[in-house]
Amino acid sequence: MASDNEHRLVSKVIRDRDIVPALQRGVTNAWFLDDDNKRVWDFVRKHYGEYSEVPTAVTVKDHYPNYKVLDVQDNIEYLLDTIVDFRRRLLTRQGLENAIEQLQDNDHDAALLAMEATITKVNEQGVLGTHEIDLTKNTEERYKEYQSLQNSTFLGIPTGFAKIDEATAGLQSGQLITIIAPPKTGKSQIALQVAINVHKGGKIPMFQSFEMNNHEQQQRHDAMRAHISHGRLRRGKLLPAEEARYIDTLNEMEKEHSFHLVDAVNGITVSSLAAKIEQTKPDIVFVDGVYLMLDEVSGEMNTPQAITNITRGLKRLAQRIQKPVIITTQTLLWKMRAGKVTADSIGYSSSFFQDSDVILGLEPVEEDEEIRLLKIVASRNCGPSETALTWRWETGCFHDEDEMLKCVYCSNWNRM
């Protein structure tokens, strides 16, 4: 049955002299189990690459006299759907057999990893790689889109940092946004502050951390939101005024929409993350410490290939769910010039730069420990911009200059 489907697909491409639909679905030599079909497909593909046309049935016959080009009446999309469905079933069966072998060896973790890798491979089969539009046919829709933007302040979700939002027009659907910083500088903190700002703006964030557990994240969130000392909150030593603010904050949050914290207990792969997104239905996704994730394809962590697979997977995930996905990673101190954060200073893999739509860099200011500089390091749609951030753990203040002027806690601090 499989060889029949393959034979019909190859014949259809040759008869119609149209290989584009098959290439868009990602058909490669590896898709073919029958050697004759594989050889002819390889010839057709190479001929198309060299001459920009599919060879005729006569040309195929000249090279493969024993290969019969069938007269196929079926639609090529049906033939592609059929072969994709077969491949998915084949990969699923192979993946399950592999997982069962691991279970028989009492390796539960390896079995789960095999299943996640199988899901990734199956989901990638037959996915359209490109989409096309005819600019002469959608002029009315384009003007309507422009009109809808006239009354919009942002194209996407604002971060809460005025200068960054002015430059980016907000974090937009399908974007992969990377926050980079040297170790112990505050990349997790700034990601959490953006999540808080987003939540205050009416959106539902999902914040997954691979660096801290949910309880640690919860305490950080509460200190930042209530503007209280994180250290005193952790030790149960809040001042009376701080405890009053903490109670007020907790009472207010009971009336709010959801804010999901997720730790690494539930999985450290892109597939696990996607499953949690499906469960929580957030408006925006945060992944803190992406370099600690496990690549379900290679089974590796912290290697250049593993990181590349992970960032590519996260980029595809953002595009599939049509939500912004914000990730954090570290820069390497030895690659930073004069203490400045740049795209070249990102550690682990160049794929962070290649796959990200926006890269935000956080760096310390030598002259003032209570200031950080947040800047747009790279962006596909805007130029560079930067803003100074207040950085005070004692009052839970991590905001930009505009907010600092309005912040009563910063004002009181400045008068001390």
User: 């004002």: which residue's tokens?
Assistant: 411
User: What is the Cα–Cα distance from 353 to 337, expressed in whole angstroms?
Assistant: 18
User: How does DSSP assign 223-234, residue by residue?
Assistant: HHHHT--HHHHH
* C-alpha 113, offset from chain centre: 20
Single-letter amino acid, residue 156: G
- Amino acid identity of residue 218, one-letter, is Q
Q: Which residues have a Cβ under 8 Å from the Cβ of 247 and sit 6 or more positions away?
A: none
Element (H, E) at 378: strand 368-379
The Cα 177–Cα 62 span in angstroms is 53
Alpha-carbon span 363 to 371, nearest angstrom: 9
* Paired strand residues for 176: 325
How far is residue 254 CA from its own chain's centroid? 30
Residue 267 pLDDT: 64
The answer to whether the pTM exceeds 0.85 is: no
Can you give the pLDDT of all 416 residues of the chain as single tens digits? 556 888 999 999 999 999 888 887 888 888 888 899 999 999 998 998 888 889 999 999 999 999 999 999 998 889 988 888 888 888 888 888 888 988 888 888 788 777 877 877 777 666 555 556 777 777 888 788 777 766 666 778 999 898 998 898 889 999 999 999 988 888 999 999 999 999 999 999 999 998 888 889 999 999 999 999 999 999 999 999 999 999 999 999 988 899 999 887 656 788 888 878 888 899 999 999 898 888 877 778 888 888 998 999 899 889 989 999 999 998 887 877 777 888 888 877 888 889 999 999 998 888 788 888 999 999 988 888 889 898 888 888 888 877 766 777 765 544 44
255 DSSP assignment: T
Are the CB atoms for 393 and 229 separated by under 8 Å? yes
